[in-house]
Every structure is written in C-alpha cells, then in structure tokens.
C-alpha cells in the first residue's frame, strides 16, 4: 500500500475517527414505520454467504461493479489500486488491472457503463475508463490543482454522463459523453452541495456514495457524517434533502438504486445494510429493512442483480485505513446477501 501524503493521512485518520464515532450503533428505526429489523441476535448469518474470494493478503477492497451484459463482477483495492475480476461461476477473483496501472495506487468507486466500459476512481486524482475486453485505458480525467480532494464514488446516468462525489470538497464532478470521446481533460464541477450540507467536524468526510434514477431525472448522494440523503435534479440543478422515515443514513457508504425505487445502502462501521423505498419523485424514502451482522466485516459498497446483493467486506478495521494497527485481516471475500 502506498502511504498517503501527511495531509491525506491526517484527513483520513480524522474521517475514520468520525466514522467510528458515528458507527457506534446501527440506524435506529422510529415507531410505526412497518420495517423489518434484524439484529446480531437474529439468524442473519443464514442470509449471508461468500460469493467469491479475492487473492492477496492486504487487499482491503472498497468498490464493486457488475457488468449487466456478461455478469462479470469487478472489485477495486483501496490499498494498492488493483482491480480484480470475478467471472460467473468462479469461486475466486483474478487480477484484471495490476497495482500501479497507469500510476493508480488506490481504487475507490467502480462502475460498468451500458457499453461495457469500466470506470475506476482514484481518490487522489480522478477517474480512468477501461476496455473490459482488453484492459486498455480509454480515457482519464483528473481534478485540477493540488488542493485537498477525495474523489470517492460515481454513477452513470442513462445518457452516458458520469457523476462523481468529492468527500472533501462537497461537490459532484461530471464527465459527459463528449468529454469521454475526447479521452482526457480536467474533472469539471457540476454541482456544489457544500452550502446544503450540515456543518461537520474539520477534516471529516461528507459526500460518499452516489446513484442515479434510471430515467435520468435525478441523482441521489449521501452525506455519511450527517446521515442525510440528497436529491440533485438533473434538469433544474435543484438540490434538496430527501425526507427519511424510519432511520438516518449515518456511516452510509455505497448506494444501489433498483428501477422500482428500492434503495439499498451499505453502512460501513456499523456492519449494517438497509433497504428503503423511494417515492416516485425521489423526494422521500421509507426504511423497509435492516440487516446488521459482524460477518459483513465493514461493508463499503454493494451491487444488486439477479436477485442477490453482493457486498464488499472491506475489513478496513483489521490493519486497514480505519485502524492501521487493528489486527490481521482474514482472507478477503465478497458477501452474497439474500433477503435484502
């Protein structure tokens, strides 16, 4: 794992401490929300199995993406930037893009677009796009300047536009199809959410996971520090806080939105997964189910397809970025969760 510059290390440590504080308990439901709550004392483990393993002693996976055309799954290593590929029916992933590919030493958010191109974010620089058949880099975009940034997660809208979160700056970047065709350029700021975000401790991270409505109307992104979900209207640019019923989204990391309005969320430091139902316009969300179990091993991101939810077991607390001296990780795996 490449050590981050001192400023980044300090920011990450501060953010990790804030996340651990926020993660003291799973999201608490309010009364009369008709949710299904499953705690660690319930037989949750029967719903959780291992989909496949990831080779390597210190992988610390963070992002995951599935290719709807081939059902291949890609996983990125936060520790060194390796991208792994898990083919259907295989019990172990293989290296697809080795550590250091194109200078990348960390891999956060991953997405496969409608044309089968793999997008990989590097928190310190920006995002690169790869051909999944050959592994060739097709395009790359970087944040201009040297001011602090943390390019975290991304989503791709139906028109092929990518939107990315910056957890430090509180903004969303955008890469349009025209920019993608050009092959390179600066990451351009599309929406500034910082005025809408609640105040947070200095150095704490805000925006994290992001997803998009399948009709291209809006984006949803989560402020993991405050537990808020934000809706960004792609026509008007209006930003509003989604009304949450049943719990909040503290420690929320990855988001996955199904066509019917089902929103699935991974809450990292609480070892929790939640399922929500959005209203048609995406302005309200009601908690439907909560799964909490230590076998999730600090879940960071998730993807749902084919009736199952695949969840990254990051083990960030076992000698990883949340606790560099927190012990030795077990073999790294991706969980398959049923009933979410």
Q: What is the pLDDT along the chain (340 residues), one digit of tens a residue?
A: 232 333 333 334 333 433 333 333 444 444 334 445 544 434 567 899 999 999 999 999 999 999 999 999 999 999 999 999 999 999 999 999 999 999 999 999 999 999 999 999 999 999 999 999 999 999 999 999 999 999 999 999 999 999 999 999 999 999 999 999 999 999 999 999 999 999 987 777 899 999 999 999 999 999 999 999 999 999 999 999 999 999 999 999 999 999 999 999 999 999 999 999 999 999 999 999 999 999 999 999 999 987 889 999 999 999 999 899 989 999 999 999 998 9
Give dist(CA 335, CA 70) in Å, integer. Answer: 20
Interval 247-262: pLDDT, tens: 999 999 999 999 999 9
Quick one: how many helices (H) and strands (E) in the chain?
2, 27
Give dist(CA 298, CA 268) in Å, integer. Answer: 5
Q: If you search the block for the tokens 């979900």, which residue do you land on?
A: 229
| 3-class secondary structure, 223 | strand
Give dist(CA 51, CA 40) in Å, integer. Answer: 21
Distances (CA, A) of 127 to 90, 117, 188, 233, 301: 28, 12, 12, 23, 17
Q: Contact, 102 vs 126, CB < 8 A? A: no
**Confidence at residue 204, expressed as pLDDT on a 0 to 100 scale:** 79
Handedness of CA 36, 41, 46, 49 (dihedral sign): positive
Q: Which of 45, 27, 25, 46 shows the shortest CA–CA distance to 289?
A: 27
Interval 48-87: pLDDT, tens: 999 999 999 999 999 999 999 999 999 999 999 999 999 9
Q: Contact, 105 vs 81, CB < 8 A? A: yes
**Confidence at residue 305, expressed as pLDDT on a 0 to 100 scale:** 83
Handedness of CA 236, 240, 243, 244 (dihedral sign): positive
pTM for the full predicted model: 0.89
Angle in degrees, CA 215, 164, 286, rounded to 5: 55
Torsion of CA 205, 44, 331, 320, to 10 degrees: 20
Q: Hey, what are 228's tokens?
A: 């808020």
Q: Contact, 264 vs 222, CB < 8 A? A: no
**Confidence at residue 189, expressed as pLDDT on a 0 to 100 scale:** 96
HSE at residue 194, side-chain half, CA atoms within 13 A, is: 10
Q: Quote the DSSP letter at residue 171.
A: E
Distances (CA, A) of 98 to 73, 219, 233: 16, 32, 37
């Amino acid at each position: 794992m490449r050590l981050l510059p001192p400023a980044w290390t300090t920011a990450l440590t501060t953010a990790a401490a804030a996340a651990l504080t926020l993660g003291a308990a799973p999201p608490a439901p309010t009364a009369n929300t008709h949710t299904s709550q499953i705690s660690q004392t319930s037989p949750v483990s029967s719903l959780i199995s291992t989909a496949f393993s990831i080779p390597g002693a210190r992988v610390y996976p963070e992002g995951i993406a599935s290719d709807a055309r081939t059902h291949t799954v890609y996983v990125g290593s936060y520790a060194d930037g390796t991208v792994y590929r898990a083919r259907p029916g295989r019990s172990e992933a293989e290296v697809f893009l080795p550590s250091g590919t194109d200078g990348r030493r960390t891999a956060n958010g991953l997405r496969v677009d409608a044309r089968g191109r793999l997008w990989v974010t590097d928190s310190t620089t920006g995002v690169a796009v790869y051909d999944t058949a050959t592994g060739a880099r097709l395009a790359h975009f970087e944040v201009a300047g040297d001011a602090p940034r943390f390019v975290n997660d991304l989503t791709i809208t139906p028109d092929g536009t990518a939107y990315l979160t910056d957890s430090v700056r509180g903004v969303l970047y955008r890469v349009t199809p025209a920019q993608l065709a050009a092959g390179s350029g600066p990451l351009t700021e599309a929406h500034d959410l910082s005025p809408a975000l609640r105040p947070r401790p200095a150095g704490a991270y805000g925006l994290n996971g992001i997803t998009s409505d399948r009709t291209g109307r809006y984006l949803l992104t989560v402020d993991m520090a405050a537990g808020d979900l934000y809706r960004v209207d792609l026509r008007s640019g209006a930003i509003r806080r989604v009304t949450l019923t049943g719990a909040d989204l503290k420690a929320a990391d990855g988001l996955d939105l199904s066509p019917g309005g089902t929103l699935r969320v991974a809450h990292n430091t609480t070892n929790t997964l939640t399922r929500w139902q959005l209203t048609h316009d995406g302005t309200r969300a009601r908690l439907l189910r909560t799964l909490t179990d230590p076998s999730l091993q600090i879940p960071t991101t998730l993807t749902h397809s084919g009736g199952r939810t695949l969840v990254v077991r990051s083990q960030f607390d076992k000698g990883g970025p949340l606790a560099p001296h927190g012990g030795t990780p077990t073999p790294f795996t991706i969980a398959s969760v049923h009933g979410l």
